[in-house]
């Protein structure tokens, strides 16, 4: 979905969002007040500049608008795959962005994310997956890596991976799989403004994704492993 | 044998921490293995490539984890990630003096794709939760597989990184970049270029790590101890992140146009950058300490 259409649907009472070098920043009017909006568009790869621009906006929001909710709009093909970004330490830039989101959460900003087109790997870990709750549109795609590179690293033939990506929950890119594994809180259909209002009311500062993944049947072991270790047990609960 | 690089994860735990002090949570005898590897006919490990638990460091209580590069490059799958998260959450309850992470990982275990991605995200959040509880998190990086992908991000969410000359810290591996963007972008077989771009010395010059040590278990132990004893300002703050924002912005403005790490070293004021790769750790640190960027 085009971001102009998206933000108009999310904020029927008005919004002022600008695009610069495929980075979105601005604000929208929700029922309870203003919401800060930050994200990316055009499937832009997240390079050092893209990460830094989003981090700058989040820090500015924490400083100038204490407690204002933050909506992260996710559309990225992943981290930028360039030698130059690696040389500059892109992992530090991405970690910085993630830490800025964490600081906002700790400073009483509600953080909601929406995958409205593509989400992939490193570009997603430090944005949508850092939110209190991450949502997705029904036709969003979420994946870890392009299949050719994945085939090279895993030594699993690309044809086999393509086959798995059709319907295997661990490999298929649809948001339903992430929903079942707890990575996505809910899929938004219909009235997006109403869905956003509801999300802004929820209060879930702690990370409950592994518990969600167990309850929804998408990740059977993560929560049981965590619970066993926290309880000091050497046997998993059934 | 004193090489950190050549030691296994369990050998590192036994020798970085006080002898006999490591007590493992959910040990291999619990037989908790990956639920996803079987469908790709990939082998499983009874510890899923990571050991977590508690130990002592010069008598101080610490919580620890060590990733085993020998199993799938230390990559993070559902169980591997959950073991890290479980240890980190238990640390918040038990309040040890620090958490020390012996990182060696290619990042998300691609064989567990979606489940691995969420798992790394949970590890990242859990590390920051530990810091928010006032417990410092220290990362040690010196294994043959380096610290890449999501774990390269996790490493930079800790309070301090100790890295060896042989250690590597980055985001995408050279093979991934070469496959996606071509050999002219990054030749993964050019080992010297890979090292100049991702290696411990380059990271130290950029300020992406706090301590550079020689490849020795004793050196890692001493550096970890110093970091645990000297940890201050553990939790994230607005002022610290604004400082980091300014540093990363300045780095980009100053070096964003540079194509080759050696040029960057020269621009930092290193007189003979071509000689840096040959220097021993101590001599290297002595030569560049006044020139390197600030760290966080």
- B263 close contact with A: CB closer than 8 A: no
Which run of H or of E encompasses B66? Answer: strand B60-67
| Contact call for B32 and A225, based on CB within 8 A | yes
Residues of A in contact with B180 (CB under 8 A): 81, 146, 148-149
**β pairing state of A111-115 and A70-74:** parallel
| Contact call for B176 and A213, based on CB within 8 A | no
Q: Where in chain A is the domain with CATH 3.90.226.10?
A: 3-203
B53 domain residue, yes or no: yes
Closest approach of A195 to chain B, Cα-based (Å): 23
Closest approach of B1 to chain A, Cα-based (Å): 31
Interface of A with B in 180-199 (CB under 8 A): 181-183
Residues of A in contact with B132 (CB under 8 A): 106
- A109 close contact with B: CB closer than 8 A: no
Mean pLDDT (whole number) for A98-121: 96
Give the global pTM. Answer: 0.97
**β pairing state of B137-141 and B98-103:** parallel
Residues of B in contact with A132 (CB under 8 A): none
pLDDT for res A147:
82
Q: Is residue A167 over pLDDT 90?
A: no
- Residue B25: which CATH number? 3.90.226.10
Contact A141, A93 (CB under 8 A): no
The average confidence (pLDDT) of chain A is 94
Beta-bridge partners for B108 = B76
CA B93 to chain centre: 24
B56 domain residue, yes or no: yes
Q: Which residue has the tokens 């990460």?
A: A51
Reported as a single tens digit per residue, the pLDDT across A14-58 is 999 999 999 999 999 998 899 999 999 999 999 999 999 999 999
- A222 close contact with B: CB closer than 8 A: yes
B14, B106, B214, B243 from B74: Cα distances, Å = 18, 6, 22, 32
What are the tokens at B140?
Answer: 């040690």
pLDDT for res B189:
94
Chain A residue whose CA is closest to B149 = A122
Residues of B in contact with A95 (CB under 8 A): 153-157
Question: How far apart are alpha carbons B246 and B110 in whole angstroms?
Answer: 34
Residues of A in contact with B27 (CB under 8 A): 234
| Contact call for B83 and A150, based on CB within 8 A | no
Reported as a single tens digit per residue, the pLDDT across B246-286 is 999 999 999 999 999 999 999 999 999 999 999 999 999 99
Contact B68, B26 (CB under 8 A): no
Reported as a single tens digit per residue, the pLDDT across A48-84 is 999 999 999 999 999 999 999 999 999 999 999 999 9
Q: Is the ipTM of this complex over 0.95?
A: yes
What percent of chain A has pLDDT above 90? 81
Beta-bridge partners for A39 = A24, A73
Chain A residue whose CA is closest to B51 = A229
Q: Which residues of chain B have pLDDT under 50?
A: 295-296
Q: Higher confidence at residue B1 or residue A12?
A: A12
Question: How far apart are alpha carbons B148 and B171 in whole angstroms?
Answer: 5
Q: Which residue, A11, A40, A41, A12, is CA-closest to A28? A: A11
Q: Which of B110, B150, B251 sits opposite A153 (nearest CB)?
A: B110
B269 domain residue, yes or no: yes
DSSP state of B275: G
State the helix-helix crossing angle for B78-94 and B113-132, rounded to 10 degrees. Answer: 10
Beta-bridge partners for B162 = B140, B211
Question: How far apart are alpha carbons A150 and A158 in whole angstroms?
Answer: 8
Confidence of residue A161 (pLDDT cuts 50, 70, 90): confident
Interface of A with B in 76-105 (CB under 8 A): 79, 81-96, 98-100, 102-103
Closest approach of B8 to chain A, Cα-based (Å): 22
Closest approach of A11 to chain B, Cα-based (Å): 29
Question: How far apart are alpha carbons B130 and B141 in whole angstroms?
Answer: 20
Interface of A with B in 60-79 (CB under 8 A): 62-63, 79
Among B118, B234, B247, the residue to mutate for chain A (most A Cβ within 10 A): B118
B231 domain residue, yes or no: yes
- A232 close contact with B: CB closer than 8 A: yes
- A56 close contact with B: CB closer than 8 A: yes
A3-203, superfamily in CATH? 2-enoyl-CoA Hydratase; Chain A, domain 1 (3.90.226.10)
pLDDT for res B1:
62
- B173 close contact with A: CB closer than 8 A: yes
- A168 close contact with B: CB closer than 8 A: yes
| Contact call for A225 and B82, based on CB within 8 A | yes
Which sign does the torsion angle of CA A115, A117, A122, A123 carry? negative
B53, B89, B180, B190 from A149: Cα distances, Å = 34, 34, 7, 19
pLDDT for res A156:
87
| Contact call for A49 and B186, based on CB within 8 A | no
| Contact call for B120 and A143, based on CB within 8 A | no
B1 domain residue, yes or no: no
Reported as a single tens digit per residue, the pLDDT across B135-161 is 999 999 999 999 999 999 999 999 999
Confidence of residue A106 (pLDDT cuts 50, 70, 90): very high
What are the tokens at B160?
Answer: 């301090």
What's the domain count of chain B?
1
- B157 close contact with A: CB closer than 8 A: yes
């Amino acid at each position: 979905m085009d971001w102009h259409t998206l933000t108009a649907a999310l904020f029927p009472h008005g919004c002022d969002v600008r695009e610069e070098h495929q980075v979105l920043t601005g604000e929208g009017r929700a029922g309870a007040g203003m919401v800060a909006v930050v994200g990316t568009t055009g499937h832009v790869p997240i390079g050092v500049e893209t990460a830094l621009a989003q981090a700058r906006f989040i820090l500015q929001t924490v400083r100038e608008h204490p407690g204002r909710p933050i909506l992260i709009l996710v559309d990225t093909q992943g981290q930028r795959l360039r030698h130059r970004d690696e040389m500059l330490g892109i992992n530090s830039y991405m970690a910085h962005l993630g830490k800025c989101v964490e600081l906002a959460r700790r400073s009483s900003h509600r953080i909601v994310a929406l995958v409205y087109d593509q989400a992939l790997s490193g570009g997603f870990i430090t944005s949508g997956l850092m939110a209190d709750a991450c949502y997705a549109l029904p036709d969003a795609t979420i994946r870890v890596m392009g299949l050719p590179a994945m085939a090279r690293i895993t030594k699993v033939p690309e044809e086999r991976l393509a086959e798995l990506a059709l319907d295997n929950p661990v490999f298929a890119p649809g948001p339903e799989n992430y929903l079942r594994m707890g990575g996505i809180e809910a899929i938004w259909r219909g009235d997006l403004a109403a869905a956003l209002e509801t999300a802004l009311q929820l209060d879930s500062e702690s990370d409950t994704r592994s518990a969600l993944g167990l309850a929804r049947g998408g990740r059977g072991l993560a929560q049981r492993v965590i619970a066993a270790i926290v309880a000091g047990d050497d046997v998993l609960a059934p | 044998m004193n090489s950190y690089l050549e030691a296994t994860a369990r050998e590192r735990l036994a020798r970085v921490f006080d002898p006999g002090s490591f007590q493992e949570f959910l040990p291999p005898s619990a037989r908790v293995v990956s639920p996803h590897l079987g469908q790709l006919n990939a082998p499983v490990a009874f510890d899923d490539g990571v050991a977590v638990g508690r130990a002592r460091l010069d008598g101080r209580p610490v919580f620890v984890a060590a990733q085993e590069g020998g199993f799938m490059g230390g990559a993070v799958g559902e169980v591997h990630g959950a073991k890290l998260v479980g240890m980190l959450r238990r640390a918040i309850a038990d309040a040890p003096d620090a958490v020390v992470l012996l990182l060696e990982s290619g990042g998300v275990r691609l064989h567990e794709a979606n489940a691995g991605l969420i798992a790394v995200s949970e590890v990242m959040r859990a590390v920051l939760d530990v810091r928010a509880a006032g417990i410092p998190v220290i990362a040690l990086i010196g294994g043959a597989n380096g610290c890449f992908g999501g774990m390269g991000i996790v490493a930079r969410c800790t309070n301090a990184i100790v890295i060896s000359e042989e250690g590597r810290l980055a985001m995408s591996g050279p093979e991934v970049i070469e496959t996606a963007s071509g050999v002219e972008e990054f030749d993964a077989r050019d080992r010297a270029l890979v090292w100049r771009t991702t290696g411990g010395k380059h990271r130290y010059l950029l300020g992406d790590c706090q301590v550079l040590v020689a490849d020795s278990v004793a050196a890692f132990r001493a550096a970890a101890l110093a970091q645990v004893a000297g940890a201050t300002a553990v939790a994230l703050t607005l002022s610290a992140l604004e400082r980091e924002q300014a540093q990363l912005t300045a780095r980009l403005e100053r070096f964003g146009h540079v194509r080759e790490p050696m040029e960057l070293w020269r621009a930092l004021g290193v007189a003979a950058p071509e000689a840096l790769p040959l220097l021993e750790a101590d001599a290297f640190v002595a030569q560049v300490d006044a020139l390197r960027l600030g760290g966080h």
